[in-house]
Amino acid sequence: MTDTATAPLAEIMAARLTAALDPTHLEVVNDSHHHAGHMGDDGTGESHFTVVIESAAFAGLNRVARQRLVNHALADLLATRIHALAIRASAPGGQ
């Protein structure tokens, strides 16, 4: 698993989400450059992200429950390194 202090945060996030949710599709997009100089910008260039994820783990769950699963997989990063996270989570087949 990629989870070192020197790895890009997007790679760490992708590794954790893959391990936790076995996605059929995953994109982790670093949006930090859009927020440079704004509230929450810590100067690292790794503070704002979008996750687009499709996983069978989301089948039958509502939007909030899906977001909770993503947040759980990234909990310590959300508490320490991620200022903002947009999540688009779906189950295979568009559920």
Residue found by looking up tokens 């310590």 in the block: 76
**What phi-psi label fits residue 64: left (phi over 0), alpha (psi between -120 and 50 degrees) or beta?**
alpha
How far apart, in whole angstroms, are the C-alpha atoms of residue 95 and residue 91?
Answer: 5
Q: How many domains does the chain have?
A: 1
Q: Domain holding 58: CATH number?
A: 3.30.300.90
- Whether 13 maps to a domain, the answer reads yes
Quote the pLDDT of residue 31: 85
Contacts of 29 (CB under 8 A, 6+ apart): 10, 49, 50, 51, 52
Quote the pLDDT of residue 48: 84
The pTM score is 0.84
- Whether 4 maps to a domain, the answer reads no
pLDDT in tens, 35-81: 555 555 555 567 789 999 999 999 999 999 999 999 999 999 999 98
The domain in which residue 70 lies consists of 9-90
